[in-house]
Structure formats: C-alpha cells, structure tokens
Amino acid sequence: MKSNQSTTSAPYPLRWTALFLLCIAQFIVIMDTSIIGVALPAIQSDLGYSQTGLQWIFNAYVIFFGGFLLLGGKLSDLIGARKTFMWGFALLTLASLFAGVAWSDSALNTARALQGLGSAFIAPAALTMVMTMFTDPQELGKAFGYWGAAAAAGGSAGVFLGGVITEWMSWEWIFLINIPIGLFVLIQSPKVLQKGTTQKGSVDMSGAIMATSALVLMVYAIVSAESAGWLSYKTLGLLLVAVVLFSVFLVSQGRKKEPLLPLSIFKVPNLSAGNIITALLAGSWIPLWFYLNLYLQQVLHYTAFNSGLALLPMTLVIMIVMVGFTGKLVVKFGFKANLIAGLLFLTASLVLFSLVPVEGSFVTHVLPASLLGAVGMSLAYIPSTMAAMSGAKPEEMGLASGLVNTSYQIGSALGLAVIVVIAAAKTSSVSTVVASPQEGLVAGFQTAFTAAAVLSGLATLMTVFSIKTSK
C-alpha cells in the first residue's frame, strides 16, 4: 500500500473542520431519501406518475445507493477516500440538476438513480475519513456523535424541508437545493480533507452490477406482490431471478483475485452480526418515520408543513442525545450496552405507536412515543455502526464502511417494502368489514408499527447473543 502522507503520531490538525464538511455530506445524503415524501403528490400531478409508479422516486435512489455502496467502499480503498468523496459529490450535484429540470417520470427516476450512485461513493468515503482522522477513542466517540446526529437530522429534517419548499416554492427545489451545497463541499474538500492512502488493485464492476440488479428485482417483486399476488408467476419468478443473481455474485466473489466483496471479511469479529443488526435497525426505523408521517397527515389531518413541525421534537432529541451523550456513554459502557438500550427504547416506541387510535391526539399518542423512538435511535445508530466495523483492519475500513452502509440501505428498502405490503393487506381486510375507511387505515398503520417492533426486537436479541465486546 502506498501512503500519500507521512505517517505520524500527531492527529490530523484539521480534523474538526473536516468533520464539519463530512457532516454536511452525511446530512445531504440521508436527507435525499426523505425530502421527497411530502412532495410526491405535486410531482405526480406535474410528471404524470401512476399511483404504483410513484414509489420509484424513493426506490430508485435507495436501491442504487445501497446497491453500489460496496463499489464506493472499494474505490475509497483503492484511489483514496477524498478523491472518491469528491467524485461522488460531483455526480450527486449534476444529478440533482437533472432531477430539478426533469420533464418526465422516467427522467426523474433516472436522475434519482444517479443521485443514489453519487451518494454510494460519498457515504463510505466519508465514514472512512471519520474513522482515520480521529485516533483518540474519546474524540472518535464525540466525532461519531456529530456524524450520527447529521444522519438522523437529515432524515427528519428532509420531511420538514420538503414541506416548506413544496408549499412556498416548488417541488423542483427539493433537488436544486443540493447544487449550491454540493459546490461548496467540492470547493472546500481539497482544502480541509485528509488526502488519505491508496492501494493497487482493480474494480469488480460486474459484481457491482449483479448485486444491484438482484436488489432491484427483489424490491420490485415485493412492492408489486400486493397486486400480482405473492404466489403469482411474476412474483416468484422475479424473486427466483434475484436469488440466482445474488448467488452467482457470491460465488464469483469467492473465485476472483480482487473481488468487490472479499468473503474473508466476514471472519472479522462482529461484522456479520453487526451488519444484520444494522439492517434490522433500518428496517424498523424507516417504517416508523414513514407511517408516523402518514398518520399525522391522513388521520390527524395535519398539513405537510405542520407534519414537518410535528417531527421537529424528534430531530432535536436525536441531535442533543447523539452530540451530547452517545459518545460519552459508548466510552463509559461500550457499544454493546448502548446498542441494547437503544433497541429496547426503539422497540417500546413502536409498541406504543401500534396502539394509535382513530381519534388520536399529538400530545397523547404521538409525542411521547416519538421522543422515546428518537432516544432509541440516538443510542443505537452509532453503536451498530461501530459494532460492524470494530474488528476491521485499516486497509479494510473502506470496504467495511461500505458494507455497513449497504446493510442500512438494504434494510431500509426491504423492511419498508415488506411492511407496506403487510399494512396494505391489513387495511384492505379491515375495510371490507367496517364502515369507516379511517378504521381500516389506522388498522394498517397499527400493523405496520407492530411489524417494525418485531424487527427491532429481533435486533435486540441478536445484539445480546451475537455481539462480542470486552466492555
């Protein structure tokens, strides 16, 4: 391995300034998954999306983000984290311009996929730089606090900003807002980010395409199963092709000299369990956010703007806990204890949400459970990442960070897809026997929260029995 900088014991002097820039990147990457939510009706009206096709504005981004994260992690190891980060931001900025001027549904879907590809380069490179710039454990814990807060705030703030921009400007600006931010990051990156290290090697593009194609087909099979039927030839055929593609991908990785995903990395302590737990965490958190927003608008009849305001307490709690407490708690008690506590809080929050009534109120049925969930996510998100990366070697850090980000995005896409189908089936069955459409709607929401609680509970049990730590 060739180093582009001298090896010294002194910490990187611009690490806190660099962290600020990396947190901006993390905020934007995560915000782009949620900011489109409240703008969907306006986009549908302007671009002529069908009701079933509308979901691909979200799915195109998440799938390409998750599907190419391993490629982003590998590039980060080979050509350097800073260069990969800047390539990703250049692509994200151009794709955001493309999305802002999109003239059709296919054009916007393509732009969203390119945004996801850019984010797939940004996320693992940024996480690698955080891990390598902060060598002191206490500083690393604090840095992860800011990092995690930026991610969580990006997810929640996206809903609020989407409502504000859509209501007072136009939906195009939810994409165009990325352009000045992207230009600022690109200008500042060579000045403040650590150049990092490079390695010799090649990139497995065929592996990246196979893995992404398998994910696309699997998610498409799940989201279309409600209309086509779970046992239909279409659903079973798509799932079979997805499984075959993923199996071929794994076999090819075991045979290639320079694979995209060296299977030996799964021998790293905690890596397999940590990634599964991260996927389960995402699969429970994203449906909480998704269905809470729907409950606020469709049951409590909040406007998009007021719904965004209602989510602000969650955002503030996440930022305060992650920045002020999580890092210190991880240093004092270790990441396993914090992960268990966070998952228990999140599970309890989802159980409370599973009891929301038709005639609910924000103060009684939303605020307490949402704050409990925010505390849970604040305590669990950073330790789950640390658990998945804790045993990786320095030269594997980019790959490990790409893998844990992949697990989070795949968990988000698959978890939400499955729970949406389950909730829709419950709503349909209840609506056939009750006179009130609201009762069927709320029954579906309750089922969605219950299913998410099951995933969070599984993550808790897996943490207790599978994560190994000395603390």
> Has residue 456 been placed in a domain?
yes
pLDDT, residue 4, reads: 43
> Has residue 308 been placed in a domain?
yes
Same domain, 283 and 250: no
Q: What angle do CA 156, 160, 161 make, to 5 degrees?
A: 110
Same domain, 354 and 459: yes
Same domain, 71 and 137: yes
pLDDT, residue 33, reads: 73
Per-residue tens of pLDDT for the chain, all 471 residues: 444 443 444 677 888 888 988 888 888 877 877 777 677 777 877 887 765 566 678 778 887 887 787 788 778 878 888 889 999 999 999 999 999 999 888 899 999 999 999 988 988 888 888 878 887 777 877 787 787 778 767 766 777 777 778 778 888 888 998 899 899 999 999 988 887 676 676 677 788 788 878 877 887 788 777 677 778 888 899 999 999 998 998 888 888 877 777 777 777 777 888 899 999 999 999 889 878 877 887 888 887 678 778 888 887 888 788 777 877 888 788 888 899 999 999 999 999 999 999 888 888 999 999 999 999 998 998 888 888 877 677 666 767 777 887 888 788 878 888 888 888 888 888 877 765 778 888 898 999 999 999 999 999 999 998 887 754
Same domain, 185 and 167: yes
> Has residue 3 been placed in a domain?
no
> The domain spanning residue 27 has which CATH number?
1.20.1250.20
Which residue among 163, 179, 199 closes a domain?
A: 199
Same domain, 69 and 101: yes
Same domain, 157 and 74: yes
Which residue among 259, 284, 306 closes a domain?
A: 259
Same domain, 284 and 384: yes
Same domain, 76 and 155: yes
Q: How many domains does one find in the chain?
A: 3
pLDDT, residue 8, reads: 42
> Has residue 471 been placed in a domain?
yes
> Has residue 218 been placed in a domain?
yes
> Has residue 458 been placed in a domain?
yes
Same domain, 23 and 93: yes
pLDDT, residue 5, reads: 42
Same domain, 277 and 346: yes
Q: Which domain holds residue 132?
A: 12-199
Same domain, 375 and 430: yes
Which residue among 199, 221, 244 closes a domain?
A: 199
> Has residue 248 been placed in a domain?
yes
> Has residue 5 been placed in a domain?
no
Same domain, 18 and 114: yes
pLDDT, residue 94, reads: 95
